[in-house]
């Protein structure tokens, strides 16, 4: 478990992180969401020790993070980059040796990973000679080469085609299933919604929400329901305490203070006509995101 406590950081006169605290749980896929320039990359760099924080501290299982802990994190920076003209396996071995692996075991593990990731092409090819999708696989292999105990990935899905996205997803969920903490940032909220266990949402360097997606829904907005009946539902708009979000004749989406209030609406509808559908409605993550960042 990795915990960030009260992290602050400025560049010149501009403070980009304010008192930021959140936790990445063991075996939890934690989605890190925020608009461009909200401080995600800076936070990740501080977590990796690439940048220093002005204030705050980071702990691993309750102990202050050490250089060895940091070295055990697999990291994928936002803008992809390895050495274009260097053979693929050579760069994996090079990176692994900074983490104390021997040349021999680094090579064995590199070949194993490339095979597992289904790299087409030879490990001795130069990076620039293989397709972008394959370069992406090498980048993932580079983050995993030193048997990391945690993963920090900055926009791992940006620029990927749908097949490559699925492949990357597989690798990440596999990794989290081994009980390791995984933090990744993404702008693709539909993906994040499908994938994550926990969400961390920041806005202009400040934490605005953290928890599971369901928790956030409960915290942030009134629960919503969908009701569809044979007769016109215009009367729902006139009910006290009920807010209609969307209305289309015999179909309505409304929010209510609690389940009892929603059921009262259902009973009233059943009294008027037969009801075709009634169900709680999950607020999509991108709306939740807009709500919390614009609040």
Partner 1 sequence: MSAHQPIPGTHLSTPVTTTRASFTTAIGLVIEREIMVRLTSKAFVFSTLLGVILFGALVAVSGSLPSLFASTDKVAVTSAGSVASIDGIEPVVVGSTEEAEELVRSEEVVAAVVDSADSPTGTTIIALRAAPESLSGALSLAPTVDILDPNAPDPALTRFIGLGLGLIFLSSAMTFGMTIASSVVEEKQSRIVEILLASTSARAIMFGKVIACSVLAFAQVALTAVAVLVGAAISGNDLVLGRLADPIAWFIPLFVVGFVMIAALYAAAASMVSRSEDLGSTSTPIMMLILLPYMGVVLFSDNESIMAVLSYIPFSAAVAVPMRVFMGTTAWWEPLVSLAILVVTTLLALLLATRIFEQSILKSGPKVSWKQALGRS
Residues at the interface with partner 1 (CB under 8 A): 12, 45, 48-52, 67-68, 70-73, 75, 77-86, 94-95, 97-101, 105, 109, 112-113, 116-118, 142, 144, 146-149, 167, 170-171, 173-175, 177-180
Half-sphere exposure of 19 (CA within 13 A, CB side): 1
- Indicate the DSSP class of residue 118: T
Task: Provide the minimum distance between the beta carbon of 133 and partner 1 in the complex, in angstroms, as a whole number.
Answer: 13
Token pair listed for 248: 């289309």
Task: Provide the minimum distance between the beta carbon of 146 and partner 1 in the complex, in angstroms, as a whole number.
Answer: 5
CB 220 within 8 A of CB 40: no
Alpha-carbon span 98 to 91, nearest angstrom: 11
Of 107 and 149, which has the nearer Cβ to partner 1? Answer: 149
Of 67 and 271, which has the nearer Cβ to partner 1? Answer: 67
Of 114 and 227, which has the nearer Cβ to partner 1? Answer: 114
For the chain, the residue count is 295
Task: Provide the minimum distance between the beta carbon of 162 and partner 1 in the complex, in angstroms, as a whole number.
Answer: 15
CB 225 within 8 A of CB 262: yes
Alpha-carbon span 270 to 216, nearest angstrom: 31
Neighbour order of strands in the sheet with 14-24: 14-24, 2-11, 55-60, 63-64
Task: Provide the minimum distance between the beta carbon of 163 and partner 1 in the complex, in angstroms, as a whole number.
Answer: 10
Task: Provide the minimum distance between the beta carbon of 85 and partner 1 in the complex, in angstroms, as a whole number.
Answer: 8
Query: CB atoms < 10 A from the CB of 187, how many?
Result: 16
Of 143 and 242, which has the nearer Cβ to partner 1? Answer: 143
Task: Provide the minimum distance between the beta carbon of 112 and partner 1 in the complex, in angstroms, as a whole number.
Answer: 5
- What angle is formed at CA 202 by the lines to CA 161 and CA 24, rounded to 5 degrees? 80
Of 50 and 270, which has the nearer Cβ to partner 1? Answer: 50
Of 179 and 257, which has the nearer Cβ to partner 1? Answer: 179
């Amino acid at each position: 478990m990795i915990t960030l406590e009260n992290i602050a950081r400025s560049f010149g006169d501009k403070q980009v992180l304010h008192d930021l605290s959140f936790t990445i749980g063991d075996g939890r896929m934690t989605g890190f969401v925020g608009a461009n320039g909200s401080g995600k990359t800076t936070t990740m760099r501080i977590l990796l020790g690439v940048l220093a924080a002005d204030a705050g501290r980071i702990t691993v299982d309750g102990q202050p993070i050490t250089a060895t802990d940091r070295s055990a994190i697999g990291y994928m920076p936002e803008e992809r980059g390895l050495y274009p003209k260097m053979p693929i396996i050579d760069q994996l071995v090079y990176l692994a040796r900074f983490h104390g692996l021997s040349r021999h075991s680094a090579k064995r593990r590199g070949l194993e990973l490339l095979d597992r990731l289904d790299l087409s092409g030879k490990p001795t090819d130069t990076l620039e000679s293989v397709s972008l999708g394959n370069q992406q696989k090498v980048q993932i292999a580079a983050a995993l080469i030193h048997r990391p105990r945690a993963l920090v990935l900055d926009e791992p899905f940006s620029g990927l085609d749908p097949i490559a996205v699925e492949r990357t997803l597989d690798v990440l969920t596999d990794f989290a299933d081994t009980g390791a903490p995984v933090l990744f940032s993404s702008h693709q909220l539909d993906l994040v919604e499908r994938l994550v266990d926990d969400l961390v949402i920041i806005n202009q360097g400040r934490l605005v929400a953290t928890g599971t997606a369901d928790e956030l829904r409960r915290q942030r907005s009134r629960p919503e329901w969908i009701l569809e009946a044979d007769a016109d539902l215009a009367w729902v708009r006139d009910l006290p305490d009920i807010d209609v979000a969307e209305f289309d004749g015999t179909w309505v989406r409304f929010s209510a203070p609690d389940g009892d209030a929603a059921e009262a609406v259902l009973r009233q509808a059943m009294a008027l006509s037969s009801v075709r559908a009634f169900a709680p409605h999950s607020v999509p993550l991108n709306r939740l995101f807009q709500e919390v960042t614009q609040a």
